[in-house]
Structure 1
Amino acid sequence: MTYSRIFSLGAGLFGCLALFSIPAAAASQTELDRAVAATIPPLMRANDIPGMAVAVLAGGQTHYFNYGVASRESGQPVTRDTVFELGSISKTFTGILGGYALAQGKLALTDSASRHQPELKGSVFDRVSMLQLATYSAGGLPLQFPDAVSGYRDMWAYYRDWRPGFAPGERRQYSNPSIGLFGHLAARALGQPFERAMEGTILSKLGLASTYLHVPAAAQPRYAWGYSKAGKPVRVSPGALDAEAYGVKSSAADMSRYLQANLSGAADPQLSRAIAASQTAYYQVGNMLQGLGWEGYRYPISLDGLLAGNSNEMAFQPQRVSWLNPPKAGGGEMLWNKTGSTGGFGAYVLFVPARKLGIVMLANRNYPIAERVRAAYRILSQLDPALASSAQP
């Protein structure tokens, strides 16, 4: 299977979308306000969420809605510039960085993982491709590293000793060590450590000045506190490949810019090609199409279909995959989404490129994913009749 065609298609993908996209039907500001007000405050009360920042992209405009507090202790209110932990939405940034290395000709998705890391030579990663790492199909890497893995020496020993439970490419098993390794190797192919590559290419080129792997001192006053199940203030702890898999922090304002780039492309042509690669479907599980970080669906999609793709079964159990040959470039009617959680935060992003429609939901509590999906679906159904016609009562 080869993937060079992705870039012959991807170079013009966003130009084609600009020509053929159909804007979502414009709801009035009052209708949108009512939809958000009927959805977010009840969601917060039901899940004891201290604060939420919501951004809705529709009709060429971004609408912000801020609720509650960034810290119960200080009472500081949430704003569009409050910094939240994104959890696994970080994987979409990693996917785009990998796409950037592809666009630069520094790696191919068919490369073996060991080609880009000497420590992996002679291991099972001689037979695991970069694409399989990026799409959680390396053969059953677990959701998390074992607790004993605390540094790079432990990490490379773990990978060298790991034995797949399935043939590489056979099943999807959602995994931080899988896409985390992909991100590490993609940055290595670019000749930089991951954090420098991410900050110097993706974040800077997209103008994301309030998106961080490590929140600097100057931004600490805007960094929300998350809250644990017991109601204690918490923030994410460092771990192996955390930046690559779950370590990005951002604001609703910056995430709306990020979604806008995913909707319309970037000024840098290579970055637009990287975004196109991340929004390419490489295989299918049920009705979910796996991209690089992003997870997609043919649009419109019913609420039940979207819930199935974001279910616990999809996250925690191995799923047999059906590879697409050739991969399906992300043009046409597609919806892309990603959830993210840490111990004290819960986030969700969703966008439809052909309709120029998207939503960002950031919360400083980890609450059920199904609740996030239902809330986003309810709000966006007010903006697009195609989605509303698929909505379940």
Structure 2
Amino acid sequence: MRTSHRLAAPLFALALCQTAAAADTELAEHATAWANAQGNGAVVLAEKRDGAWQFALGGDPHIASTAPVAPEAVEFEIGSISKVFTGLLLAHAVHEGKLALGDTLAQRLPVEFDDGDVGAITLQQLATHTSCLPRLPSNLFVDADQADPYAHYDDTRLFAYLASATIDTPAPCASAYSNLGIGVLGVVLERAYGTSWAALVSEKIATPLGMPDTAQTLDSERTARLAQGWDGTSKAPHWTFASLAGAGALRSTAADMARFADALLAGADGPLRPVWASFVGPYADAPGGKSGLAIVHTRIGGEPALWHNGGTGGFRSDLRVFPDSDRALLLLASNAKADPDAWLASLAEDTLAPVAEGIAIPTESLDDYTGVYTLSPDARLTIVRVDDGLRARLTGQTFLPIVARSADEFVYTDVDARLGFERDAAGKVVAVTLHQNGRDTRIARTDATAPTFLFPGAEALAEYVGDYDFGAFQPGASIAVRAVGDVLTAQLTGQAPLPVHNTAPDRFEWDVVPAALVFERDAGGRIVAVVLEQNGARMRSPRK
């Protein structure tokens, strides 16, 4: 997921945003093309330019309503954009004297912390993803419905987790995205005000800004306008939230989010004036920029922007606000396979043109660039040499070839992105800047040596493909291993498929978690099982 904030007093209530009578033709063409690309579901695209909002719908939202519904009135799950609301609620709580940014979990939650460093985490650290807490609590999936994984996770489970949780070092840590951290912040806000997070969103944000269609739970009329979510070609259940609502529980419409974007554009001169400085900060470094209270300061297309995106099991969302030019872009999609980041970049005036060919670089010079570059504990860029070329991998993705376009500048051959390397006074490469989708993200080089990887072709990977019975460790579960071209993916029942990388004969490792798959052969050399190695355990799953 990429949940709640509160607004300034109604005295500064924002006027309804201006809407265009008809969608801009170009906007409509983009929305239609992107909806076709995702296959099922709908895309609503909204843009503010020259003081006016325009909306376009592509695809079919598959709503229950039999009455006509305008594109800007279709309800979507906005996922982690909800976090921006939670950050804004914290700013409001500070303004009202309900909370302070330096308040700790030990002060604000009824939990006996085994690890005093966890209890010492501050609200500011939660809101800026510098708390050192993991992305998700380790007990989230215990008794969970895999199709609706947050629905069962209540305060009892959350407090039990926090009581026994440990962190490796006292906060603050380098920014590492945490649904858990923002979810905990939502619970702190609930206890400070004595009401639900959803009620705070309504009271402090949705009502003052004139956002009647933004809520955690929709009434029957709004439910009839709620898009059906999709995960590729399969329908995806709507997600519901209990204790971690602050991390991603909101549903909203493009019209409501346009009003919210207008409030962000107005900044200290609009309805957020009393809380604006506290809300935007910035307080900490973040991937690609700086962090306010759950709002990201970045540059998109060379222009300063406030940004956040989101996703649930069947939806994707992206909101970008450009205060300097009074522009904003919003994309809401009802398919988890949507790619808002890449799609919205195509609207920018200075997107990069793909370059497939490069200049020759001496083979011995390629080692200058190999290594591990770390953006955050959960985000790394690994560059390795393969024969007389380089390949680069971002965490959770596959290795892609890069070629030199000039000294210290490389471009991807398969995607629209480039890498600019930075050297110190001694000529050593110390950092790289990723230029993609209008963003410039600097990533520092570490002292770590790039691991050794093997790159078998599609034919060699084919023998690993199959389903492996994991039922001895999780009833009814299996590990599905698939080959997509020359990339092997593995998927445990209820989770998403992720690439695994060949590090030794018959051994493949994930880079998003410290885990590996070791394939087992019989006397004839046929693969008969796979062993999942994780957290010191070895879990053998026979091939079906």
- TM-score category (smaller protein): 0.7 to 0.9
How far 1:239 moved relative to its partner? 4.5
1:146-295 mapped onto 2 (5 Å cutoff):
146-148=140-142, 150-241=153-244, 243-265=245-267, 271-285=272-286, 287-295=288-296
Q: Post-superposition shift, 1:256?
A: 0.4
CA distance in 2, matches of 1:261, 1:81: 19
Residue 374 of structure 1 corresponds to 342
Deviations 1:309-337 (A, max 9, x none): xxxxxxxxxxxxxxxxxxxxxxxx63011
Distance 1:219 1:174 in 2: 31
Q: Of the two, which has the highest radius of gyration?
A: 2
Within a 5 Å distance, the mapping from 1:1-393 to structure 2 comes to: 33-71=24-62, 79-120=71-112, 123-124=115-116, 125-143=118-136, 146-148=140-142, 150-241=153-244, 243-265=245-267, 271-285=272-286, 287-298=288-299, 300-301=301-302, 334-368=304-338, 371-379=339-347, 381=348, 388=349, 390-393=350-353
Any gaps of 5 or more consecutive residues in structure 2?
A: 1-7, 13-19, 143-151, 354-544
The answer to whether the 8 A contact 2:319-2:328 is kept is yes
Q: Choose between structure 1 and 2: higher helix proportion.
A: 1
1:344·1:365 contact (CA, 8 Å) conserved in 2? Answer: yes
Kindly indicate whether the alpha-carbon contact (under 8 Å) linking 2:305 and 2:322 is maintained by their aligned counterparts in 1: yes
What's the % identity of the aligned pairs? 25
Are 1:69 and 1:77, in contact at CA under 8 Å, matched by a contact in 2?
A: no
- CA-to-aligned-CA distance 1:347-389 (integer Å, 9 cap, x gap): 1111111211101111111125xx312222322x3xxxxxx3x
- Give the conservation status (yes or no) of the 8 Å contact 1:288–1:296: yes
The change in CA–CA distance for 1:222 and 1:34 in structure 2 (over 3 A counts) is closer
Distance 2:115 2:218 in 1: 36
TM-score, length-scaled by structure 2: 0.55
Measured in 2, the distance between the counterparts of 1:268 and 1:192 equals 27
Change (3 A) 1:238 1:129: closer
CA drift of 1:142 comes to 2.5
The CA distance in 2 between the partners of 1:106 and 1:73, in whole Å, is: 41
What secondary structure is seen at the aligned counterpart in 2 of 1:222? coil
Name the one with the larger strand percent: 2
- Cα distance in 2 for partners of 1:137, 1:373 equals 24
Contact 2:102 2:123 in 1 (8 A): yes
Classify the secondary structure of the residue corresponding to 1:348.
strand
Question: Matched residue pairs, number?
Answer: 324
Residue 3 of structure 1 aligns with which residue? none
In the other structure, the counterpart of 2:362 is none
Secondary structure, counterpart of 2:305 in structure 1: strand
Give the structure-1-normalised TM-score: 0.74
Greater RCO (CA < 8 Å, at least 6 residues apart): 1
1:188-238 Cα deviation digits (max 9, x unpaired): 223433222222112111111010110112311111111123422521133
- Indicate how the Cα distance of structure 1 residues 261 and 120 shifts in structure 2: closer, same or farther if over 3 A, else same: farther
